[in-house]
Amino acid sequence: MVEEHTRVAMKAASVVGFRDSEGPRSWEHTPANSVKLGAHPPTRGKPITVESGQKQVQAILSGRHMKELIEVSVSEREAAPRLSYRVDQTAWNRLQHRLLGKNILFTDQDSWSDEQIVRAYRGQHHVEEAFKRMKNPHFVSWRPLHHWTDQKIRVHAFYCVLALLLSSLLRRTLAHKGIEMSIVKALATLSKIKEVVLIYRGSHSRMQPAVELNRLTPLQEELLHALDLKRYLPSVGHTNQPP
C-alpha cells in the first residue's frame, strides 16, 4: 500500500512537469523528496507556476485519505517552482489500525447468529455469479431476445429469472446431497440423459411400449439418484436398462 502512495506522489510530480533532480531514492531512507518544476517545460500552453502546480497536485490527491497520507508542498526556490513530497508513515499506521480491513454489517435478521450473518454477507458472491450466468448462451440465457413490446419483454425477463431461481435451487439441492458443481455443469450433465420409448411389433392387443434410458455415466447416475428423477419416468414397460 505504501508503494501505491509512492506511485501517486510520483504521478503528481510527473503530471505537473516535475523531475527528480537527484534521481530515484528509497522511501525507507529518505523522509522527503524534492523535485524541480519545469525541468521539461511544456511545448504548448503557459509555463507551470507555483499556483498551477498546487491546483494540479490537489486534484490528484483528492482521493480518500490521500492528503493525510502524502504530504506535498509547492514552493519557489532558485527562481523556479519546486515540489516536496513524503509519505507520512505514522498516518499510514494509524489508518491501518483504525479503518483498513474492518467492515460493519447491519441486518434486520435479529434471530441470526453472528456466524450466520457473516456467512450470508460472504455468500453474496453466489448471487452475483448467478446473474452472470444469464449471459451463458446455452443455459438460463437472457439473449437472444426475440421480443420488442414492453409486455413481452417483461414476460421474458420473468421466466429468465424464474429459470435462474430453479437452477439455483437445483445447485443447492445437490450441495445438500454432497455434490458440489456449478449450475452450468449440472444442467449440461442432466441434458444428456435421454428417455427412449421402444415399441415392439406384434398384435395390436399385445403392443406395449418399453421406456428406457440411454447409457448413463457414473455422474449421471449419481445425479439421477440424488434428485430422485426416476419417479418421473413412466411405469408402463419401464425396464431402466440401457438398450
* Rounded Cα distance, 117 and 17, in Å: 50
Long-range Cβ contacts of 39-45 (<8 Å, 24+ apart): 41/17, 42/17
Output the pTM of the full model. Answer: 0.46
Q: Please enumerate in sequence order all residues whose Cβ is within 8 A of that of 227, keeping only pairs 6 or more positions apart, or say none.
A: 170, 173, 174
Cis check: omega of the bond before 243, within 30 degrees of 0: no
Per-residue pLDDT in tens (0 to 9) along the chain, 243 residues: 545 555 555 554 454 444 443 333 333 333 456 555 555 555 566 777 888 888 888 888 888 888 888 888 888 777 778 888 888 888 888 888 888 777 888 999 999 999 999 988 888 887 787 777 777 777 877 878 888 899 999 998 898 889 888 988 998 999 999 999 888 899 999 999 988 888 777 666 566 777 888 889 999 999 999 999 888 876 544 444 444
In sequence order, the 6+-apart residues with CB closer than 8 A to the CB of 98 are: none
> What CA–CA distance (Å, rounded) separates 56 from 19?
15
